[in-house]
Amino acid sequence: MSLPQTPSFSLTGKRALVAGASSGIGLACAVALGQAKAAVTLAARSTDKLDQAVDLMTAAGLAATSFQMDVADISRTQAQVAQHGPYDILVNSAGLARHAPAIDTTEADFDAVSSLNIKGAYFLTQAVAKGLIAVGKPGSLINISSQMALVGGIDRAVYCATKHAVEGFTKSMAIEWGPLGIRVNTICPTFIRTALTEQTFNNPDRVKWLEEKIKLGRVGEVTDIMGPVVYLASDAAALMTGTHLLIDGGWTAD
């Protein structure tokens, strides 16, 4: 008799691309992957913040580089991934929210949010997969989705629509690329306290709504996403594809 061995959470020898990595959830994911021994490339539109993040990670002994990327610029993103890849791991944290009552949604807001959250995410995921397929490597592709990919929310019709779409293409890509060893999943957080969500937290009515919905009694912190992203990226999640990790404090348990 022999005891089973826990699959490794180490990412030694893996190359990871994290889009939207200049702050918030994206930066936390980059740090988590780096601490798990991946060589991490941080990408975002803001190069000043990227440079600061890379300096801090390097000073902490982590392997980190960066380049400027706008995920909504499809052709340039595809060229950058082809040039710098292949990447064993993708984490796409680039996203946009323009919240308003559905009756007040403008075409401009709909197009802007859809262009980044659906179209940009789709073609970035495709680009990384192409690089892996070209060299015959497996990989783990992760999009940061949302609990709003499973439910609806006040003033969030467009945002919910885009995140539901991400879940849809994740399942289809996982089916197509599974035989090649390429796993495709999402992480679906609840409200995470970042600079981008401060507007919500400054609204007393919204805070009351959050407190009623999150069963664990607190909003999320970026550190709540760091363990799950390492899990999905690693061999510990080797049989996980076409689905999501829901990090919502019990929001969707109702």
- Catalytic positions are 159
Q: In terms of residues, how long is the chain?
A: 254
Q: How far apart are CA 41 and CA 34, in angstroms?
A: 10
**Which value, in Å, is the radius of gyration of the alpha carbons in the chain?**
18
Query: 236 φ, ψ to 5°?
Result: -65, -20
What DSSP assignment string belongs to 128-167?
A: HHHHHHHHT--EEEEEE--GGGTS--TT-HHHHHHHHHHH
Query: SS3 of 44, please?
Result: strand
Structural contact between residues 124 and 19, judged by C-beta atoms closer than 8 angstroms: yes
